[in-house]
Structure 1
C-alpha cells in the first residue's frame, strides 16, 4: 500500500521564497498548506499575483490550501495546526528588510519573535516531525572573516532584523532540546530571481534601469554580495524538508552549530559561494536589459554589511546539493522575467 506523503505547512506562502517553494512541492504531489497575512510592507497585489501562480500550478486544486492569517495570532495558528496536522513546517513568514528595521522596529518584534514563538509552540503541541525556518546571512554582522562558516561568531548583529534572526536560531535550538523537535535553520544569502521582493537590490536596480531613474549605490560601490538564485534556494529547502535534523554522536568543537550532542538542531548556509561586486551585478543587469544605469554613489547605510560570502560545505554534505546557478545565468533568467512581467 502506497504511503501518503506528509502534509507541509508553509508560512509566508505569498512571499518570494514561500510561493516558489509551494509550486515546487505541489509539482511533486505534496499536500501544501499556505498561510500569509499579506501585509503592506510592499505591494499586496504583487503578493496576490504570486498566490495566483500557485493556484495555476499543477495539482493545486487537489493539494493546495491557503489561509490569510498572521503568525502573530496564536489562536488562528493553532486552529490551522489542529485542522491539517502538518508533519513538516517551513517558517518563512517574517518582517523582512534590514533598513526598514530602523524605521519600524516594533514590526520585527511582533512577527519575528512573537510570531516565531507561536509557530514553535504549535510545533511542540502537534508533534511536528520536521521544522525548517528561515534565518539570514545578516546574523554574521560585521564579521570580516570570509567565507562565513556556521560556527563563526554570530553574536554581534548590526541591525535589529539580524538580532531577531539570531534569536530565532536560539529559540529553535532550545525547543528542539526541550521537546525533541527536529529543526533546521537556513541562513539565506541575498536571494534573487523572478518574483523577487521589490525592496531588494535586483528589483530596485532593474526598475530604475528600465525607467531611466538613478540607482543609489551605497558605500560608493565597494560592496559584495553572495547572490543566490531562487531555484537553488527552493531545492535546498525541499531537500531539508525530507531530511530532518538528528543528534550528533559527538560534539565537534570546530563545528558547534551543527554537532550539538543533545538537540536535533542544525544550521546551514544557503549561498552561491561566489560573491559579486555590486558594480559587476549592475553591469550584467544593464547588458541583460539593454539599457544603461544612472548611478548615484552614497555612503554606507546603517545596518548594512560590506561583503558576504558563504561556505556551504555543511549544506552539501547534508543534502547532497550545492547552489550553483551562475550570476550570469541567474541575471538572464531574472531579466527575461522582469521584461515580460512589466510589458503586460
Structure 2
C-alpha cells in the first residue's frame, strides 16, 4: 500500500432489509462510496434512521452488505472467510454508543479489556494483566479499576473502558458509533479530547458517526452527510460545515445553537418528517421537504456535483461549487 492509498474504501455499499409487509424492501443504505486516508477522521452525520449505524456495521462486516465492496488496505473484506476476518479484526475495532449496554455486567474490567487479547492469543495471563493496567492508564483511569465491575463506574468512565477495549489490539482503524451522545456535555468534551490524544499517540484513523454537527466539526478532517441511506454531501470539514452546498446540510447546520450572535444563521425549517424508508419518493428523496426544490427534483436523482473541496448530490449545485440556495 502506497502512502497515497486509502486505508478504507467503500464502493457502492448497500444494505436492503425486507419490508414489514413482506412485499418490498427497506433501503437502509443505498450505493454509498467513501474513502478514509491513513490518520484521517471521517465524520458521518445525519438524522436518526438515515443509515449511519448500518453503514458502520457493514464497514466492519458485522452485518453483510446486500451489494458493494469494502476494501481495507486494498484487501476486499467481503472475500475473507471467517478465520481470515477474525484475524483482520485486530486492525479494525469499534466503540459503541451506549456505555451501559456495551459492557458485560458479569465481567470485571480486567476481563472485559483482556478478552480481545485472549481471543487473539496475545500475551500470557501476566502479560495481559500488565497490558490491561497500561490501557487503563492510557484512557485516564486508575489501574486499580481492573478488579471492579461496570456498575461501579459512571457513563463517562464506562466509555473510557470501552475505548480501552477497542485499542487493546493496537488497531489501525476505530469506528466510533455515536460515542458521546449518551454522555453529559461536560463529559463529552473529556472523551473527545481523549480520542484526539489517542489518535495522535497511536496513529489511529477514525470513522466518527454522529447526529451532532458541533461534535463532528470538532473531530473531523472530512464529513459525509447522509439522508435516507445515501451520502448527499461530502468533503473537507471546513468546506461542508462552513459553506454547505446541499439544502439538507444547510438545514442541519442552521439548527445548531450558536452563542455568538454574529455567527448565527437564519433557521431553515424543513416541512414534515423524513419519508417512509419503505416508500422512498422518486427523484431526489429530499425534495418533499426541500424549500428550494424545482421540478426536476421530483423525477430525477441528481448527479454528484461540486469541486475539490466538497461535492453534493443536488440539482441546484453547480460543478464549479456554486449553489442556487445560498
Structure with larger Rg: 2
Q: Same fold (TM over 0.5)?
A: no
> How high is the TM-score relative to the length of structure 2?
0.33
> How high is the TM-score relative to the length of structure 1?
0.32
Structure 1 or 2: more helix by fraction:
1
Structure 1 or 2: more strand by fraction:
2
